[in-house]
Structure 1
Amino acid sequence: MAASSPSFWVSSISRITPEDIYIRGYPMQEIIGRLSYPAISFLLVRGCIPTPGEARMMDVILSSILDYALQKSGTVAARAIVSVNPQMTAGLSAAMLGAGPYAVSPEDAGRFITEGVAKWRASGLGMEEHAETLVAELRAAKRRIPGFGHQVFRGVDPRAEKLKNFAQAQGVWGEANEWYAAVHEAFRKATGKHDLVMNDVGMLAGIMGQMGFTPAEMTGLALQSTFPGVIAHISEELQSGVINRIVPDSIAEYDATQRSLDEDLAAAGWPA
């Protein structure tokens, strides 16, 4: 008897049958109306039913970014794109590409926290001592610590503080968060920048890491949080009637000097 061929794909996320769609093994008809959208999002990504506290925290996470007006490059890109390609999907795709190390995405901070906590546990040092040693090493190497700083907020990022208070109240604040807070404090002391905030992206990374999400999953959830705002901006742009939105010359500066093509071709060795 011939051995069965290996499956092309193996997935435990969902399954469709003639009777129902199963989400992580649970019939969708049983889930709908019993679990909230944030709780279902947790179930899909983590693969297990969240505790009530985790479900409430997911609601806050998915409500934590929403929109940055036109201060978010992804939103600006989305509006520019749909002014020449008037489709919602085109705008959403452009907005997603704007998530990265310097905006929206908690992935770098999440990886920094995950790896840093593991190194601290293995070091045998106290939390504050390890944080001070790590900060000194990173500063000597001129490496950026993700999740610190904001172009507007000083002292405290109110969004981050709200996330912290809620996480503590829901029982999803833990060792990873305390370690990251210790690094933040050590960095402020070492640099003398006592008003440098832990921003919302950094706080989200610590909380989601404590909840068991991978750094890559953190980026997906952060983007999920921005979608209502991006949809609103794209819809507004589509209804504006503006075609081919560009940067006007009045706020652009060009520093290219006039050049001689014939002279430069000759200098480069081209025949006359």
Structure 2
Amino acid sequence: MKEPEDLAEACRDWWRTGIIAMRPGEIRIRGYPIEQLVGRLSFAEMIWLMLRGELPEAGRARLLEAALVAAVDHGPQAPSIAIARMAVTCGVGINNAVASAVNVLGEVHGGAAEQAMELYARVEAETAAGRPLEEAVAAAVEGWRRERGRHLPGFGHRFHPVDPRAPSLLALVEEAAGEGIVEGRTVAVARAIEALLGSRSRRPVPLNIDGAV
């Protein structure tokens, strides 16, 4: 049987996290005193620090900031936004409305960016195995459609002929790649998938915000 001191330490361990440490009069985020961060970091830089455990380079922080700006409310066509607006008309408070919206986020709505990254990773795995980019894209797309259906996450939009957010984000990433801030491999993969889809369709199937983020 454990001693009371051991049990107390086990309880403290359960609540410990590498993200934040708090003591009376002291708050540290990833080891940095909060007073050194307030007024120094942007919100995007703070998110980066919390998620990755390090302060971002200025160029990377600008890219994250741009992605956050692009992802703000873009009209009632999005299911989660429509649900939140409908909830408010029922007389509930803002907390209830936001909770209603969050509850519909998943693979079908809200999860496309993660799925797009999975698709890109498949392409990169093919290129790492020695395949040229165009062949790697074709193999990854065919494999994805065979397993999950014809729709590819990150491409096409049911409302916009061209998602107006995606080109701006891609241009920023390509500029950052040219400056050596990021590698830019994922942009090349996304462009190659976009080209393949366009060559197989009567109309363009451009990258959307999920594929760009």
In the superposition, the TM-score normalised over structure 2's length comes to 0.83
Aligned partners of 1:144, 1:120: CA distance in 2, in Å? 22
**Contact conserved, 1:135 with 1:186, CA < 8 A, in 2?**
no
After superposition, what is the alpha-carbon deviation per residue over 1:171-220, rounded to whole angstroms, capped at 9, x for unaligned? 3351122123212222322x22441111011111xxxxxxxxxxxxxxxx
Aligned partners of 1:133, 1:118: CA distance in 2, in Å? 11
After superposition, what is the alpha-carbon deviation per residue over 1:35-92, rounded to whole angstroms, capped at 9, x for unaligned? 1111111111121101000111121111002122211111121122233352111111
Aligned partners of 2:140, 2:42: CA distance in 1, in Å? 40
SS of corresponding position for 1:201: helix
The match for 2:209 is 200
Q: What percent of counterpart residues are identical?
A: 26
SS of corresponding position for 1:62: helix
Show structure 2 runs of 5+ residues with no match. Answer: none
C-alpha RMSD over aligned residues: 2.4
Aligned mate of 2:197, from 187, 191, 196:
187
Q: CA deviation at 1:28?
A: 0.5
Aligned mate of 2:119, from 112, 118, 132:
112
Note if 1:81 corresponds to 2:91. Answer: no
**Contact conserved, 1:77 with 1:95, CA < 8 A, in 2?**
yes
Query: Whose RCO is larger (CA < 8 A, sep 6+)?
Result: 1
Relative distance call for 1:32 and 1:4 in structure 2 (3 A) is: same
Note if 1:131 corresponds to 2:141. Answer: no
**Contact conserved, 2:119 with 2:140, CA < 8 A, in 1?**
no
Note if 1:178 corresponds to 2:182. Answer: no
Aligned partners of 2:37, 2:146: CA distance in 1, in Å? 52
**Contact conserved, 1:164 with 1:203, CA < 8 A, in 2?**
yes
Q: Size of the alignment, in residue pairs?
A: 201
In the superposition, the TM-score normalised over structure 1's length comes to 0.66
Note if 1:147 corresponds to 2:154. Answer: yes
**Which structure: larger Rg?**
1
The match for 2:99 is 93
Aligned partners of 2:141, 2:114: CA distance in 1, in Å? 20
Aligned mate of 1:166, from 149, 172, 179:
172
SS of corresponding position for 1:22: strand
Output aligned runs, 1:247-266, within 5 Å.
none
Relative distance call for 1:40 and 1:112 in structure 2 (3 A) is: same
Relative distance call for 1:194 and 1:84 in structure 2 (3 A) is: closer
SS of corresponding position for 2:90: coil
